[in-house]
Amino acid sequence: MIRLLILLLGFAVAAPAMAGPFIDKLLIHKAERRLDVISHGEVIRTYRVSLGKQPVGHKQRAGDQRTPEGIYFIDWRHESEQYNLSLHLDYPNLKDSAAAWRRGDDPGSMIMIHGTPIDEEYPEWFFEGLDWTNGCIALNNVNMRELWELVPDGTLVDIRP
């Protein structure tokens, strides 16, 4: 949220106290199942991602298994026994909430960028190439660890069709 205020007010700010380059934003191309990490306008990392089970179109309501589209921010992070590491997005934003309210829908919540499940029955390779989440963006656990260490809270996340 602080980065959003800084962006809106036009102030410059030093990079947070994290190892590695300053990250401007994450750009997710849903159709290409790709997440780009951008520093100073340059793509410095690219990851293959999985999306919700219904990947086409913007998330409309809770349970539709779609991944949202639009501008969001990472507002907190969590270490989970079920999904390894996760970065929470501030979905629904004001636009999503207003649209859902007009439709009489619950917009849903808990959209995250996360790793793959730690599950003996379904090893990590099982999820490669599948859209399997309930609307989140998933990476393999090695890539998720790298992203976790690169990206601070407050980072802008642009999710495009």
**Tens-digit pLDDT profile for residues 68-120:** 999 999 999 999 776 689 999 999 999 999 999 999 999 999 999 999 987 77
pTM: 0.83
In a domain, 137, yes or no: yes
Q: Per-residue pLDDT for 1 more than 80?
A: no
Q: Could you tell me the CATH number of the domain that includes residue 141?
A: 2.40.440.10
Range of the domain at 140: 2-10+26-160
Tokens matching residue 57: 């179109």
- The predicted pLDDT at position 117 comes to 84
Residue 20 lies in a domain: no
CA-CA-CA-CA torsion sign (62, 66, 69, 73): positive
Provide the domain count of the chain.
1
Q: Is 112 inside a domain boundary?
A: yes
Give catalytic residue positions: 114, 136
Residue 132: inside a domain: yes
DSSP letters spanning 58-120: ---STTS-PPP-EEEEEEEEEEETTTEEEEEE--S-HHHHHHHHHHT-------EEE-----S
Residue 82 belongs to some domain of the structure: yes
Q: What is the CA radius of gyration of the chain?
A: 16
**What is the model's pLDDT at position 119?**
73
